[in-house]
A and B are shown apart, each in its own frame.
Chain A
Amino acid sequence: MAVLRPAGEFDTSYAYDMATIRRGWQWVVLVAFLAALYLLPLYAGQGLVALVNRIAIAIIAVQGLNLLTGYTGQISLGQAAFMTTGGYISALLVNELGWPFYFSLPAAGLGAGVVGLVFGLPSLRVKGFYLAMATLAAQFIIPWFTRNAYKDILNGAQGINVQAPVLFGIEFNNPQRYLYLSLTVLVVTTIVAHNIGRSRLGRAFVAIRDHDLAAELLGINLFRYKLQAFFLAAVYAGLAGALAAHQIRHLNSETFNLIDSVTFLGMLVIGGLGSSLGPILGAIVVELLIEGATLIGPFFISVFPATAAGAVQALRPLFFGTTLMLFLIFEPRGLAHRWQIFKAAWRLRPFSY
């Protein structure tokens, strides 16, 4: 969609032309929204705060996936495996070596990124679902490794307990306190992702997505940029995994599984590929759906008492799968695209096309 500026608004400087947030009132709205989020523990219940935490962590993971799948067009079914990697790295650094959390978190990101590079190597030879297969292999090999290797440290299939992070003498041991942590990481990673998208790197990614051979002829180094995309995606997954592990306080090979990887891809498609807004919208919608499925479970049983005991768990995949399929058929470009259309229509009002 072409950039559609409101009537009467002109770019009077290059800095203004480049700005993401252009108007004073937009700054006011943004700051007010962030303040409302940060002050959430003051006025919201524990359940809501925990939900916002989950959404924030999911958004981080999906932002990374967006860089890889949305911008670069490489399909990855391994995002949850890289979350496992990041989670284990941070947990072990804190538990075994006594590192502070503000070192172990970036280390988790970097470590997961390096593992991501290894599984990104096949992307140089294969693409499409061949690549999906290669990342699927990561989804099996990494959890297998945590189950079977170094059992004295990783504790096999049992998994490990993870300490609550301590920063500046404060222990982030409940959802209310944890919110400050996850929101801060979320804000930073989202700003970085948004700016990667409109930099030289992001434009190279988009060129590779749109036609990799043509991109190579234009002088874009496929080897370098594809691996950079894999690295970035895995870094984001590692950060998200470390955050999630320190919040759940326990980690095993099944904490982040194939279903999560599929869910992240679904969030990305529902939100919209290739924009930094998409992952935010997608993660919120899907997490709310899942939450809704959990909430109406008891009601569902009261209406259909004959259903089997495990049937309530069926609602989550049913809701998610149906929403994903409907979006793929009716709005394959996701909610972010819908939002663009809405904005354009609002600006052209009353002469919408």
Chain B
Amino acid sequence: MNWHLLPQMIVTGLLAGGPLALMALGLVLIFKSSYIFNFAHGQLLLLGALITWWLAVPRGLPLWLAIVLALLAVAGLGFLIERLALRPMTGQPLLSIILMTLGLGQVLHGLALLLFGGVQRNFPQMFAVANPYRITLPFLINGNPVVVILKQNLVWSFIIAILGVIIIGAFFRFTHTGLAMRGASEDHELAQSIGLRIHRIFGLSWALAGVVATVSGVLLATSSGLDLSLSVTVLAAFPVVLLGGLESIPGTIVGGLLIGLSQGLVSAAKAPLLRHAAEIMPYIVLLLVLLIRPEGLFGQRRIERI
């Protein structure tokens, strides 16, 4: 263990947990309302970031307007996806639904490649890079003072991400539509029989997921650049969802922070092999969660009867 690196790595890891939580939120949103696990979330995120880039850089719109327009565009795309791809799958076996979202991911990936090409883009900087926040810790390690450097973009991404999760959580908890969504996920037929228009609810949750995806896409793009591999980063959010629990919105924050922390801790190790393990840390945690507590920290345990 490199002890003098440890505080920095813990803080960086926790900060990385914010965007992870936001990505996980997009997955939980759809799962909570329609019981579908969306493997195409990464491509939604990529499209959101690409549309923002296209509006802001070649079209020259102000960044805030570009983001708003991209949010609307991807929300519309979410509606469209629900109507065209997922609605015919109602009542189909799980494998078909999983494959539908995987196929959808391929189509969206192809669309992104076709419309925008596969080259690396420079995304406009939203936060100052030059002056990172510095915090000197009140103790010494090996006789040296420890300074933790916080990059501004990471801090602001973290804050926005956590705010997003809280807002969506409040939406689910306190609004009428949120209640309807929770009801729809519990039992589709029952929800319909008390007069909920569940197809509209599903469409709305896909649109919301599109919005969340765009926000996390923009946040990731502004801190780590924009190319097609952006969609792959979402795969690290799958363990977050399972760790936090598939139905739990607070779980995304806890899961995101824990996964980020685990990556940070491993990065502070001395052995190079262990240090490189940071990239697969989420999946190791995932396997452990599945073996020990498959429903996650805050998920619902479901029993099955014949």
What separation, in Å, do the CA atoms of A121 and B88 have in the docked complex? 34
Partner of A213, one of B277, B283, B294, B306: B306
Whether A317 pairs with B107 at a CB distance below 8 angstroms is yes
User: Judging by beta carbons under 8 Å apart, are A313 and B98 in contact?
Assistant: no
Q: Smallest CB–CB gap between A326 and chain B, Å?
A: 9
Binding site secondary structure of chain B: helix
Contact A133:B290 (CB < 8 A) given known A140-B235, A266-B99, A310-B117: yes
Q: Are B99 and A265 in contact (CB under 8 A)?
A: yes
**Considering residues A262, A317, A324, which has the most beta carbons from chain B within 10 angstroms of its beta carbon?**
A317
A259: chain B residues within 8 A (beta carbon): 106
A316 to B109, CA, bound (A): 10
Please tell me the number of chain A residues within 8 Å of chain B, measured between CB atoms.
52
Residue from A144, A211, A262, A328 within 8 A of B306 (CB atoms) = A211
Question: Chain A nearest CB: distance from B234 CB in Å?
Answer: 12
In the complex, the answer to whether B113 meets A130 with C-beta atoms within 8 Å is no
Contacting A at CB under 8 A, from B87-102, are 88-89, 92, 94-96, 98-100, 102
Name the A residues within 8 Å of B145 (CB-CB): none
Q: Is the CB of A317 within 8 A of B109?
A: yes
* Given A266-B103, A325-B85, residue A136 in contact with residue B283 (CB < 8 A): yes
Q: B273-303 CB contact bits vs A (8 Å, 1 = yes)? A: 1001101100110110011001000000000
A296-353 with Cβ < 8 A to chain B: 307-311, 313-322, 324-325, 328-329, 332
Residues A310 and B118 in contact, CB atoms below 8 Å apart: yes
Complex-state Cα separation, A273 to B92, whole angstroms: 14
Q: CB-CB contacts of A119-132 with B at 8 A, as 1s and 0s?
A: 00110011011101
Interface residues on B, range: 35 or more
Pairwise interchain contact A328-B96, C-beta atoms closer than 8 A: yes
> Residue B119 at the A interface, CB < 8 A?
yes
Q: Are A324 and B290 in contact (CB under 8 A)?
A: no
Bound Cα distance A306, B113 (Å): 14
Residue B123 is within 8 A (CB to CB) of chain A in the complex: no
Determine if B113 and A313 form an interchain contact, defined as CB atoms under 8 angstroms apart. Answer: yes
A-B contact pairs, 19 of them (CB 8 A): A73-B95, A75-B98, A125-B290, A126-B294, A130-B290, A133-B286, A134-B287, A136-B238, A140-B283, A262-B102, A266-B102, A309-B117, A316-B110, A317-B106, A318-B114, A321-B108, A325-B103, A328-B89, A329-B88
Which B residues fall within an 8 A CB radius of A?
37, 85, 88-89, 92, 94-96, 98-100, 102-114, 116-119, 235, 238-239, 242, 273, 276-277, 279-280, 283-284, 286-287, 290-291, 294, 304, 306
